[in-house]
Structure 1
């Protein structure tokens, strides 16, 4: 049991920083009670992956010099201070910079890199399955956070409710951190990390980054537009609600399942399977968008949820596979690419229109499948 204590102590960090996935519940409450424009709320959501991107890349490189537990302390500091900045004033700008960018963006980037590094060092033979499990908890944080916020919000309003939630999560996080053991040093920790451009010259890593950037935006765009899409194609409102739940379920199961596949079979197989599901979902979506059977939409939410989750769940094992001896730095780059691609999907759907963006991103997903097969190693 003692062997698994560190892994159990890492679980609260996933619920803390996965609070971003409760935005669908928090955002409407802010809009109704404070009157903030929808564009402001959309920008607040977009700032989180933009903050996560540089943080997870820099954290991956810093792990050659800093202990993962030290990075987790910095992550919790960002969460605590950023949450305070965001909620102590009524300014939307302070909220976006403190809560969205610093607390859930930079904090999540530091936390994710540190947690995956701890798993890789303490459980090297299970880095795929346990890393995927942590990322699954991160993606499914809203299962607890969203209804908890909603219940408190009914009683005291959105700002005190979110402040109470942040305070409880911060307290739990610092308590878990206090009991977390130090991890053993990473292999080769005494040597300086490769310069970024030298690391990017490694062909397998370079292609892995390109594939993540091509394949991921379809899933994030689908998460952002699924409600509008169900109305546009004329399916029932009940199916629209079910679609959201199926995507969330698929996201969590995909993160865990494809991490397990990477350990049980190989990271290469896990990537091919995730890309295959993504391509199948893309074909179904193209058929629906062109009117070739709305019935095909029934399977789409679960498939795209599984594929989107799988794109994240396979990354811990894939990073070690494509950049041997530099897995932590490679994971920072790959997860940073995943975060940026997650931002691109909603951004393109807002800029190009839902139909055009989804159609283009579906074609990119098919191209990513072909590229993945071409560069498989």
Structure 2
């Protein structure tokens, strides 16, 4: 039988851990209570946060007890970044984000049964603590040499930006969280991203000094894009879990557009497909790359996890409809708007705009003469229907969802006319 650590190894989900052998023995001995923390630095989590969330779910499925921590206190401070001081958000803003992020984490954990999950907010034990108590009972256990040696701290101190005492103290607060949860719930393991390794060790060391007990830390690797930039970022910004910030359509397309070189790793990290299923998809990438079977499985699995099967089915139907493989008229305005959001667009003047205007103004062709040639050659479409009259005027009857007209040049070059655009 595969252990949880062996499974995480196969999926590429272990970057660093304290005493791997001792941690394995602890996990094998029975249910271990562990925690993962999330700071409310925005109104939504993004796809990078899924690495930790899904790793917590894997541990729970393996029989261990999760504690999800949302940092109502640490979110007011800000974890030091490699460059630049964070902007401090107002307490009421952070409090609102705490609720939203908690609601995003909870669906991935099971709150019933012998391994029932708990959600906590570190503001509950941090806010009542006086400055004197904090310095005497917690701060005295931290050594400046160790704190200054942490990579992020050292780099910031050497930069023009420097580092404020506020952000410098973040590692103490995170260490205090681990100690508090050790005392409250016998938490013996903290999970986090590899950029948090130093902060995780702060808690491990604090528990050793204060309680004389052993505790563990395990980090997941930071997922990056092929160019080394942060995973989950696009030209339009982050890929959020909140459907109001990143539509299910854009979310699905993000995963579907994964490169062949990356999709196998993403399947291991972000899905619960079995080893056999993933290895079969690895073969498909090598032997049938044009079919994009692995990308389709990845996009479907992660969209199901985050937005549900119904949302994923609407997205897939919209994707097919754009290229004539499903009914455009069946799409609701929201789904259609999401599907065409990234297409070249132009305003529509019903009763005035011709197909030539549409092709030229959306930039699908280089000009009006090229637009006429496209129609004459049979390569122009309105709402997936071939047009053979270059002077055809687009009318109200052509509107999809009372708003859009889809135009296409050739097989795959799409544009959209919007009757509400100015």
Where on the TM-score scale, by shorter chain, does this alignment land: which range? under 0.3
With normalisation by structure 1, the TM-score equals: 0.24
Q: Which structure: greater strand fraction?
A: 2
Greater relative contact order: 1 or 2 (C-alpha under 8 angstroms, separation 6 or more)?
1
Q: Which structure: greater helix fraction?
A: 1
